[in-house]
Amino acid sequence: MRVSEQKLRQFNSVIGWNKSEQLPPTFVHIMAFPLQMSLVLEESFPFALMGLVHIKNTISQLRPIHINESLDIKCYSSDLISHKRGWQFTLNTEAYVGDELVWRSASTNLLRQEVQTIARGNMPALRKPIEPKGATENWTLANNLGRNYAKVSGDYNLIHLYPLTAKLYGFQRHIIHGMWSKGRVLSALSDVLPPAFEAHVKFKNPILLPAEIIFSHQSEQNQGKFSMYSNNLLQQHLTGHWLSL
């Protein structure tokens, strides 16, 4: 599988990636998206696609991937376990250049099986403001960001597109994709990330669009931590860490 240069430029623009000769770590994820969907849509797959919630993701970049390299990608599911809100499983993706494993990811998804649930966008905020640690940046997320990311990722889940379509699934407004958030974070950290690293993310409260976001991060030589918060510091949207491999 070869990279579409036009699609890559569009993707880089949406997530803020500025290393033009190197694939963004989350771009391989969207290259694998059709394969992941074909797996989830198999008749033998135990869960329906709608209703799945992406709760955490780990990406391991074993080395930088040049934009001209051809990738072979495989995808499989694992780790089906019970969860207090239903069932969770992991979608695993691996990318190879020839016989060399250069990238892998594990996306944990939750199928909620509650009689009554509260959409995560409607969860109450924390009572006391959070104190961000480390350096901070303020980000503005436009109303059409979900639609723009859908165009470059292929993920047209209705909860990301318009307020009306998101309300069908219990959200007050449309929300940004979790993998956009991770891609934006890794773009912001691109100057401190080593060539080989692993980045872990847990998705917390979703981001309702449009939004003003605070990004905080702490980086040392071989590891770092990061978070995304609401502008009023009453909600944590994402938390994670990276480490050198």
Q: Could you tell me if 40 and 49 are in contact, meaning their C-beta atoms sit under 8 angstroms apart?
A: yes
pLDDT at 118 over 50: no
72-97 pLDDT, tens digit per residue, is 999 998 877 777 766 888 999 999 99
Confidence of residue 116 (pLDDT cuts 50, 70, 90): very low
Buried b (16+ CB within 10 A) or exposed e, 49-73: eeebbbbbbbbbbbebbeeeeebeb
Which one is predicted more confidently, 194 or 43? 194
* Per-residue confidence band for 122, with pLDDT thresholds at 50, 70 and 90: low
Contact 54, 106 (CB under 8 A): no
CATH number at residue 115: 3.10.129.10
| Residue 113, pLDDT above cutoff 50 | yes
44 or 218, which is more confident: 218
Q: Report the number of distinct structural domains present in the chain.
A: 1
Query: What's the mean pLDDT when you consider all of the chain?
Result: 89
Range of the domain at 206: 5-244
Largest CA distance in the chain: 52
Q: What is the pTM of this model?
A: 0.88
Over residues 198-217, mean pLDDT: 97
Of residues 157 and 14, more confidence is placed in: 14
